[in-house]
Structure 1
Amino acid sequence: AITKRQPALMSTIRKFNKYCERLAELYDASSGIPLPSPLPTKLAELWNDQSLLEDVWVTPSVGEIPRWLEDVDVREGIRAVLKSNRCLKEQQRLGMEADHMC
């Protein structure tokens, strides 16, 4: 199904990336809004791109910008902690399932 929509999707991604370049030229750091990052043009990379889930460019931040909003490393760290928590819960669930099998 995605192969039928790939040309339109790629056209939209290229247009979005051009908008990102234009925004970078016009960017005012005092606005308190971080710049969006360009999207990958390969569908496999796009599938795993977490920036699509971020909704941080809607309203300007008042005062100091939170680190999770401005620093990519902090956002990646948050995702890593969440993944670790999911793995621990899955490990507990599998342990209980193994106990019930005996």
Structure 2
Amino acid sequence: MSTPTSNNGKQKSIHRPKDAPFTIHNSILYDQKLRALRAEAEALRLQLGDKDPNTIVQKHIQLLHTYNEIKDGTQALIGRYALMTNRTIKEIHQELELPLTD
């Protein structure tokens, strides 16, 4: 079995927990779990592809910022509409079938 690499490309070792007594059963379970985790890590690497994780996070932050700006503008318009029609914001939300919470 190959040793997984860390983000910087260096090999890192995986050890069995010291508090677990060595038995064939524990060893087999450990190896099965290790293979499953390695397969999951490889699947996630393939899903990520060559994309930089930091770039992905920054893009998500940018999208959240844009979403919040749009939502704030929408809430301001709903508030003005409520004032113009002499109703509450809650009533406008219900009229437009909008959720009252995020």
State the TM-score, normalizing by the size of structure 1.
0.36
Greater relative contact order (Cα 8 A, min sep 6): structure 1 or 2? 1
Q: Looking at secondary structure, tell me which structure has more helix per residue.
A: 1
Looking at CA atoms only, which structure, 1 or 2, has the larger radius of gyration? 2
Query: Under a length normalisation based on structure 2, what TM-score does the superposition of the two structures give?
Result: 0.36
